[in-house]
Amino acid sequence: MKTKAKKKNAAATAAVSGAPAELSYSGLGVSAGIAIGPAHVMERGLIDVPDYCVSDVDAELKRFDVAVELSIKQVEKLRIKASTLSEAAAEELTYLLDAHRQMLAGSRLVRGVEERIRKEKLNAEAAVQAELSQIAHAFAAMEDAYLAGKIQDVREVSARLVRNLTKAGYQAFSGLAAGAIIIAEEITPADTALMDPAIVGGFASALGGAEGHTTIMARSLGLPAVLGVPSLIHAVKPGDIIALDGVRGTVVVNPSEATIARFERRREALVRRQRQLDRLRGVSAATRDDVRITLQCNLELPSELALAQQVGAEGVGLLRSEFLYMNRDTLPSEDEQYVAFKDIVEGMEGEPVTIRTLDVGSDKLAYSLGEHISPSVNPALGLRAIRLSLKVRPLLDTQLAAMLRASAHGKLRILLPMINSSSEIKRVHEAMDKVVKRLARKRIAMSDPLPELGIMIETPGAALAADSLAKNCDYFSIGTNDLTMYTLAADRGDEQVAHLYDPLHPAVLRLIRSATQAADSAGIPVNLCGEMAGNPRFTALLLGLGLRDLSMSAPNLPRIKQRILGLEMADAEKRTAQIMEQSDSGVIATLLDDFNALE
Ligand code: PEP
Ligand code: MG
């Protein structure tokens, strides 16, 4: 009640002054940039629900039960998040989520849906919709306006259930106002793939960690983003003006004129800085003492190719092939993949393109693969990446064939995600031999020699066994995003443990060093394509650890080049040697930041 009174006062003040009250929130600033625009509140609704008769009622009840369980987990996760807010906001949000939680534990809605599945043999989605309509009817007839308003909670819970039943991706980013800022509970990598940076200004959500794939996708698209802002979605109405700062992690709802002016000044400063960096396009990346560093781009989507060319990337160090599987119900054919790969290889005009086989699972779940991936208690440790490709062999064979065919059009390398053992590499070699023979029989052109086959070093196991893995592959690519997560057991996509996810932890640095040294000893190339490569804070340290080849999202490349141009390799190596003697990541951070400030 106390909270309601406060809210009323704020509304009253705003009404008197004629302008809505400015509200400021802070979260994780994960993708740089400033955006000011109208809010688009992303509600995954009850639209286009399939409606059919089920023959196996028990199976349908089970399916509904799984959706209810998943919904409960989601609400509980949000509730934990809410408890970290300020007192008033926590009270309000917790109250709301408790109501949702109760509704999921056997309310009229849940019981009614089960009844309809049992008696009418309706599919679960249609049963939810039918039950919601009936409840809404009953609520509309209520005289108490407060109780009648509670239908909104029933709608939200129903929408969550339908979303979890259909596993539907969000498809409605069309028709947005220019510069719209998307506000959501959670934004998946697949949602981000649907955002057109020419229209969308940026986004903010309640869930999501610092190095999840949504974050990476936002950086690649140059979309400012702030994650981990739990109460935002409940505070914003569609069309409210939002000012978002993806560097500082600030989101302001209904900003005053003074706040807008402040954000605009910051935006202009960032644009000026970017223009200066653009001048470095034709300059090669070399340290002051002339050590040449290769800078390549990571691509999430083919649409980023133009930017990679614009910033002068010396190739694509990592093409994540997941984009081919997102936002669809069917698997991409060999021909479709071949055309997509060929276009990118040709677009890079002779520069190498490293294409990674499918890396779904964990936070990168493609709906088209749903039947192959069952829910797992620990999805990050489950059937994902190369494990899935080796289990469902047509997935691997189709991709290898598409890559081999595209290799005839330029320089292409094949990369395998989440490798832990030599036997996994050998099995891919065997699969590749068979595909090569099949294509050769059909006289289909492939590169000669055949593409190199490399592996991601992104688990502690792979880093520790790097010397033996190096004997079975052509190159290493160090993936610090997963390597940090698995080494420290801190989920890269969970804002609750974002403070524990620390790439400067000595264990992570030692693993990067040992993988780099193992590659050097075996005489194979090594590059680093995790997000560390695109953050100038880490550049001196990575060079000091022996890396000479870095791959990052295109918008970050000019800043990294500028950092390299200002560095003396001998100094970077000396500081890295000091850092590697430390056992505390706080001390390491200070040593690194002091060095960066001096240079
Ligand atoms: C990594 O893990 O560092 C990496 C580059 O792969 P992804 O981010 O796609 O998991
Ligand atoms: Mg990875």
* pLDDT for the residue numbered 98: 84
Asked, for residue 123, whether it belongs to a domain, the answer is yes
Domain check: are 200 and 101 in the same one?
A: no
Asked, for residue 422, whether it belongs to a domain, the answer is yes
| Ligand 1 pocket, residue 169 CB under 6 Å | no
Domain check: are 206 and 153 in the same one?
A: no
Asked, for residue 551, whether it belongs to a domain, the answer is yes
Q: For residue 320, report the distance from its CA to the centre of ligand 1, in Å.
A: 9
Domain check: are 158 and 194 in the same one?
A: no
Select from 218, 240, 273 the last residue of a domain.
Answer: 273
| Ligand 1 pocket, residue 484 CB under 6 Å | no
* pLDDT for the residue numbered 10: 39
Range of the domain at 384: 288-598
| Ligand 1 pocket, residue 356 CB under 6 Å | no
Asked, for residue 437, whether it belongs to a domain, the answer is yes
Domain check: are 507 and 427 in the same one?
A: yes
Q: Find out whether 546 and 520 touch, Cβ atoms under 8 Å.
A: yes
* Nearest listed ligand to the Cα of residue 532: 1
Q: For residue 205, report the distance from its CA to the centre of ligand 2, in Å.
A: 23
Asked, for residue 184, whether it belongs to a domain, the answer is yes
Select from 166, 199, 224 the last residue of a domain.
Answer: 166
Asked, for residue 239, whether it belongs to a domain, the answer is yes
Compute the Cα dihedral for 33, 34, 35, 40 and give only its sign: positive
Crossing angle for the helix pair 585-598 and 536-544, nearest 10 degrees? 100
Bridge partners of 209, per DSSP, are none
Alpha carbon distances (Å) from 203 to 249, 259, 307, 419, 501 = 11, 18, 21, 33, 22
The CA angle 327-214-533, to the nearest 5 degrees, is: 125
* pLDDT for the residue numbered 278: 85
Kindly give the pairing relationship between strand 241-245 and strand 250-253. Answer: antiparallel
Kindly give the pairing relationship between strand 549-553 and strand 241-245. Answer: unpaired
For a pocket test of ligand 1, which of 321, 363, 478, 482 has the largest count of ligand atoms closer than 8 A to its C-beta?
482
Q: Which of 100, 297, 473, 529 is catalytic?
A: 529
Provide the token pair at 235. 């505070």
Q: Which of 213, 297, 473, 505 is catalytic?
A: 213
For a pocket test of ligand 1, which of 192, 458, 547, 549 has the largest count of ligand atoms closer than 8 A to its C-beta?
458
* pLDDT for the residue numbered 14: 44
* Nearest listed ligand to the Cα of residue 503: 1
* pLDDT for the residue numbered 195: 85
Asked, for residue 393, whether it belongs to a domain, the answer is yes
| Ligand 1 pocket, residue 481 CB under 6 Å | yes
Structural domain total, the chain: 3
Domain check: are 546 and 588 in the same one?
A: yes
Q: How far apart are the first and last CA of the chain?
A: 56
Residue 529 a catalytic site member = yes
Could you tell me the mean pLDDT of each successive run of 10 residues in the chain, 599 residues long?
40 53 92 94 64 90 91 80 62 75 86 94 91 82 68 79 72 78 85 86 88 86 91 87 95 96 93 86 94 97 91 96 86 96 96 96 70 76 93 96 98 98 98 98 97 98 98 98 96 88 97 98 98 97 98 95 97 98 97 92
* Nearest listed ligand to the Cα of residue 480: 1
Domain check: are 144 and 235 in the same one?
A: no
Q: Write the residue with the smallest CA distance to atom 6 of ligand 1.
A: 479
For a pocket test of ligand 1, which of 30, 320, 552 has the largest count of ligand atoms closer than 8 A to its C-beta?
320
Q: Find out whether 545 and 513 touch, Cβ atoms under 8 Å.
A: yes
